[in-house]
Structure 1
Amino acid sequence: MPRERKHGTPPTLLVTGCNGQIGFELSRSLAPLGRVVALDRAACNLADLDQMRGVVRDIAPDIIVNAAAYTAVDKAEGDAELAFAINGIAPGVLAEEASVLGAMLVHYSTDYVFDGTKDGAYTETDTPDPISVYGQSKLAGEAAVLASEARALVVRTSWVFGSHGNNFAKTMLKLGCERERLRVVADQFGAPTSAALVADVTAQILARHWIFGDRTEFPDGLYHLTASGATNWHAYAQEVLRQAGTLGVSLKAAPTCVEPIVSADYPLPARRPANSRLATAKLCQTFGIHLPAWRDGLHSVMPQLIAQLPRS
């Protein structure tokens, strides 16, 4: 059962991975809800379970939002032990600590838990079948959380981008300023999703249904959260360049100079799902959430990406 707070006492929210794309945005979006303790890897290392347990017990948060993860998809193929420690084991330990505290746990997962062979968008009831070590480790983590006694929200998202950290949109913008032609994979499909959207929806759900709602009736469990619509990496790259050009960026590569290629033309250590589309109807209907189009999210963050370009 959720523990009761003294009347008028704001909740304490612990955010792990505060230097990641989503973690960075969570520090902003959660600030109006209570006291936010946002920790980086040095302060809360998910690979060090003893340290992590000690941090959680010292802070005794009302809500834990786990945005920390091992996200080096290709490196994970040769570093499975660390990937599973951070992505697979640590989330289950956080869930154990949350259960003891009577705290809520929010944990983020990924489209990589699926093999990408389905024709349509994946729902929460589809059977996962990851094809990479990264996907396997993330599936282990979400399974541990969902099997625990903690009140938990497991949120799968995809193709995350933002103004903070490294991501595809930032890379394409930089390359578009440096090169006259780009070659980008066109046979993998998904929904580019801004880190700000993930953080804002998380804050909205926690505020409405946990902090100020009936927590005993909170509809916890597994949900998909992505921007609306879908595209492929090639068309996504073209849209990055199109929006940048509209905003006055001097590009060497126009959108028409992005050449489509197939995944086999750009081999990587880890296999990627060809279809990363996630159905979001459950989240939208359960929590009354409207999810904007992925192009809108890109448009919102583009000025910040442009501001980070090297000055000529």
Structure 2
Amino acid sequence: MTIIVIGKSGQLAWELAQLSTPSQAVVCLGRDDIDLQDVAALVKTLKQHKATAVINASAYTAVDKAESDRENAYLLNTEAVGHLAQACKCLAVPFVHISTDFVFHGDKGSPYLPSDEINPLGVYGASKAQGEQLIADIYPKHSTIVRTSWVYSTHGNNFVKTMLNLMATKPDLGVISDQIGTPTYAQGLAKACIASIAQQVTGIHHYTDTGVASWFDFAVAIQNIALELGLLDTKIPLKPITTAQYPTAAKRPPYSVLDKSSLVNALPELSLMHWQTQLRVMMIALKAEREA
């Protein structure tokens, strides 16, 4: 098998690349390797690589910038997704697409099911929602949409690494405490994507680690583990702040915990772990990388 990952520099693409084996190669293609705006060119490139499945790990993820850069957000999160779905349909290969908790409004108050109504608050969520709809219209029989949230990895830019940098340089830090969701280690998400292909899972599903947290809870855990592992030398005061105290261009869903039952049922061998357990695993790996 040759699984083609659309995306090369992102943290999920990097984690997927680590899962490559002689019998199941994972090949990551970046913007210089593939043209997402030309279906014929996409088909040609996928044929050249003898693709047996495609995972779309690319996206326009600058949530605030998307509000003023609407055209580019829709170009990558909607139009390119439709082109990928068409190309995969032409080649009759499975297509796994990564989507987001931002397709939801955030006012439900209990974990969102894949079947719940979507109602995005901003351009990023709306562009991702329309990408999902194109997949449903073009290639529903052999496509899988996996919504996730708060993704981090040892690779790339993410909340964990940003917090570590700020905690090492700031005397104190305010972190939002009224947005609730679940952190997700990209390594586990990558394994879920590969398993979905192997087991021929289709439809819309959710994947995150287990448990619930605010960004403030997440930051507290990051600091505690970092101090324990020696990634930080000094503890600084962390104070909870509200979304209103930290205005941004784009609105975020105040509650976006995702119900993972459908994917667990489809992949009974999938081992879900609590976000704090996964955070520790990632930070141990990060320490090892920094010491190497």
Using the size of structure 2 for normalisation, the TM-score is 0.93
- Which residue, out of 255, 269, 283, partners 1:275? 255
Residues 80 and 57 (structure 1), Cα distance of their counterparts in 2 relative to 1, 3 Å cut: farther
- Which residue, out of 259, 282, 287, partners 1:301? 282
Residue of structure 1 in register with 2:238 after alignment: 258
Residues 33 and 193 (structure 1), Cα distance of their counterparts in 2 relative to 1, 3 Å cut: farther
AA aligned opposite 2:36: L
CA distance in 2, matches of 1:124, 1:74: 25
Please give the secondary structure, in 1, of the residue aligned with 2:194: helix
Deviation at 1:62?
Answer: 1.2
The farther-off stretch of 190-199 and 149-158 is: 149-158
AA aligned opposite 1:227: D
Please give the secondary structure, in 1, of the residue aligned with 2:96: strand
Cα deviation code 1:19-60 (max 9, x no counterpart):
101111111124355233211122124356565444234334
Residues 85 and 49 (structure 1), Cα distance of their counterparts in 2 relative to 1, 3 Å cut: farther
CA distance in 1, matches of 2:182, 2:225: 17
Conserved? CA contact 2:43–2:90, under 8 Å: no
- Which residue, out of 142, 158, 180, partners 1:151? 142
AA aligned opposite 1:163: T
Alignment of 1:1-312 (within 5 A): 11-31=1-21, 33-47=23-37, 51-149=41-139, 151-207=142-198, 209=199, 218-254=200-236, 257-288=237-268, 289-306=270-287
Please give the secondary structure, in 2, of the residue aligned with 1:74: helix
Structure 1: tracts of 5 or more residues without a match: 1-10, 210-217
AA aligned opposite 1:171: T
Structure 2: tracts of 5 or more residues without a match: none
CA distance in 2, matches of 1:270, 1:51: 34
Deviation at 1:95?
Answer: 1.0
Conserved? CA contact 1:146–1:154, under 8 Å: no
Residues 290 and 36 (structure 1), Cα distance of their counterparts in 2 relative to 1, 3 Å cut: closer
Residues 307 and 269 (structure 1), Cα distance of their counterparts in 2 relative to 1, 3 Å cut: farther
CA distance in 2, matches of 1:51, 1:72: 27
CA distance in 2, matches of 1:29, 1:48: 28
Please give the secondary structure, in 1, of the residue aligned with 2:18: helix
AA aligned opposite 1:36: V
Conserved? CA contact 2:43–2:91, under 8 Å: no
AA aligned opposite 1:206: I
Cα RMSD for the two superposed structures: 1.8
- How many residues are matched? 289
Conserved? CA contact 1:192–1:227, under 8 Å: yes
Deviation at 1:124?
Answer: 0.7
Quick one: percent identity of the two aligned structures? 36
Deviation at 1:152?
Answer: 0.5
Residues 79 and 51 (structure 1), Cα distance of their counterparts in 2 relative to 1, 3 Å cut: farther
Using the size of structure 1 for normalisation, the TM-score is 0.87
Deviation at 1:174?
Answer: 1.0
Conserved? CA contact 1:182–1:253, under 8 Å: no
Cα deviation code 1:228-251 (max 9, x no counterpart):
001000010010000001112343
CA distance in 1, matches of 2:90, 2:172: 55
CA distance in 2, matches of 1:306, 1:35: 28
